[in-house]
Amino acid sequence: MKIEDILSICDHTLLLQTATWPEIKDLCDDAMKYHTASVCIPPCYVKQAADYMQGRIKVCTVIGFPNGNCSTATKVFETKDAIENGADEIDMVINVGWLKAKQYDLVLDEIKQIKQACGYHVLKVIIETCLLTEEEKIKMCEIVTESGADYIKTSTGFSTAGATFDDVALFAKNVGPDVKIKAAGGISSIEDAEKFMELGASRLGTSRIVKIVKSK
């Protein structure tokens, strides 16, 4: 597999609390140089990044991040604000507590409201697989499919673990035909990236692939 093909599906990511604009700018420069799918950055930097890159690379940001348990109204406001500031793609975190309590209607309604706020922009739904049972993961595949969201995403990268091969394979078996898969968190090698792609991931959330390429 060509490295260019892997880079083209990477959301080049920097979401650390300590991230500064110079670091985000460097991330954007790398994304433009290596032609990644997007940069995935904190909401406070979306406008600067969008103005800086002028459409050359898509800007992705996170909503309800990383815990997912703010109110739906807050998440909808965050989404609208991000899009007004120039975000092209939205990665939202579900309310895991609602899922655990089997309040599936609330989980579904929230995703639908955020998708409506997104309009034609891409919506990825982070379900935080490391906190879920297999039954809950399968249920979220059903909910994301019903919601009209574009992607189901494994992880924030800020919980107890990131993407696993088993979870991506499980997604591939259980999501509808219109739902794509994003693996994120802990993708540390070219071999990992290739394996996730073979299993069905069409987007990867990682900063390490660009770092590997830069080091060669």
CB 189 within 8 A of CB 215: no
* Backbone φ/ψ region at 157: left (φ over 0), alpha (ψ -120 to 50), beta: left
The encoded tokens of residue 156 equal 């924030």
Is residue 92 within 8 Å of residue 126, measured between CB atoms?
A: yes
Q: How is 104-164 classified by DSSP, letter by letter?
A: HHHHHHHHHHHHHHHTTSEEEEE--GGGS-HHHHHHHHHHHHHHT-SEEE---SSSS----
Q: Which amino acid does the sequence have at 179?
A: V
The answer to whether 15 and 38 have CB atoms below 8 angstroms apart is: no
Q: Which residues are known to be catalytic?
A: 91, 153, 182
Measured CA to CA, the distance from residue 177 to residue 200 in angstroms comes to 12
One-letter amino acid for residue 205 of the chain: G
Q: Could you tell me which residues are beta bridge partners of residue 61?
A: 41, 90
